[in-house]
Amino acid sequence: MPGCTTLVSVDDLQAVFGPRRVAFAERELALDLNGDGKPERVVLLANKLRGYELPRAVSELSKRGGVCVDGFAVFDGVRPKVPVLYQYNEYDGWMVRLDTIDGQRVLVSDGGRDHAQHIWGWWRYADTWPPDGWVARDRAWNQGEQRFGPWIPVQRMNIIVGK
């Protein structure tokens, strides 16, 4: 379409979704989340004022506990200029790791004070819907039953900032 552009950088994402006043340190990793042989561009983000050490290799995402980031963006491997996930949490950031949950390879955060497990990735749906497959979900820990509750869809582009 004439006049339309695609988002290609974290600065572009910040201009649309925010946060507007944060300068990020960034680390790009190639990670095939949907197993199609075309790695997604995963950009890990840290507020420069916090001084987090961002990982240099995908293998660090698989370590126990994962890595600490303020946010991240995932760009589709087939359409590398298309952002499919963008998360930023000013309050807690994320302890994010690469893991397999319910048979799907996803980015996972086991939550902090919210006692919820969060996942982001590409999901193989039995009924092939939605056709793209990129999802963000969370599920709360049920202390009484000592297990997680059902998955709840959440926004794939989600910015949490203080007031």
Q: How far is residue 82 CA from its own chain's centroid?
A: 14
What's the pLDDT score for residue 117?
A: 92
Sign, CA torsion 13/65/145/134: positive
Region of residue 127 (phi > 0: left; psi between -120 and 50: alpha; otherwise: beta) = alpha
pLDDT of residue 1: 42
- The CA distances from residue 125 to 44, 111, 116, 132, 135, in Å, are 27, 25, 22, 10, 11
pLDDT mean values, one per 10 residues, the chain (163 residues):
64 92 93 91 93 89 88 92 92 90 90 83 71 87 90 93 75
Question: Structural domain boundaries of the chain?
Answer: 10-160
Cβ atoms 109, 96 nearer than 8 A: yes
**CA atoms lying within 13 Å on the CB side of residue 144:** 1
- What is the structure's pLDDT at 52? 84
Stated pTM of the model: 0.88
